[in-house]
Amino acid sequence: MISALTVAAFLFAAPATPEPGAPSQQFPDFAACDANRDGKVTKAEFIAALTTDQKKIGERVFAARDANKDGVLSREEFNPPAPK
């Protein structure tokens, strides 16, 4: 089971030098996910923008970012402040 802390670490961690051929762990930005340009990202839009490897944890990442649990991500929820 993946904990919320693991998901948070995955969201904010960036490898210093990715290995050649390694899948990217960096998620697409807000604009790339907001397919219909309505200023919010649905779960379907978020998942559709992910790589195959990212889709494995995409639903958990979406749930972790959806602070108010309304089923969509605002720009603020999409780019939460880094943990201190």
pLDDT score at 83 = 79
Six-digit token string for 51: 């790589």
For the stretch 71-82, pLDDT in tens is 999 999 999 877
> Domain limits at 82?
26-84
Burial 29-45 (b: 16+ CB within 10 A, else e): ebeebbeeeeebbbeeb
Instruction: Give tens-digit pLDDT for 30-49.
Output: 999 999 999 999 999 999 99
**Is 37 part of a structural domain of the chain?**
yes
Looking at residue 49, which CATH number applies to its domain?
1.10.238.10
Residue 65 lies in a domain: yes
The tokens describing 18, both together, are 């990715």
Number of structural domains (the chain) is 1
In a domain, 11, yes or no: no
The answer to whether residue 56 is domain-embedded is yes
Question: Does pTM top 0.85 for this prediction?
Answer: no
Q: What is the pLDDT of residue 26?
A: 86
Q: Is the residue at 12 inside a domain?
A: no
The C-alpha atoms of residue 49 and residue 73 are separated, in whole angstroms, by 14
Is the residue at 78 inside a domain? yes
Residue 20: what residue type?
P
Q: Is the pLDDT of residue 12 over 90?
A: no
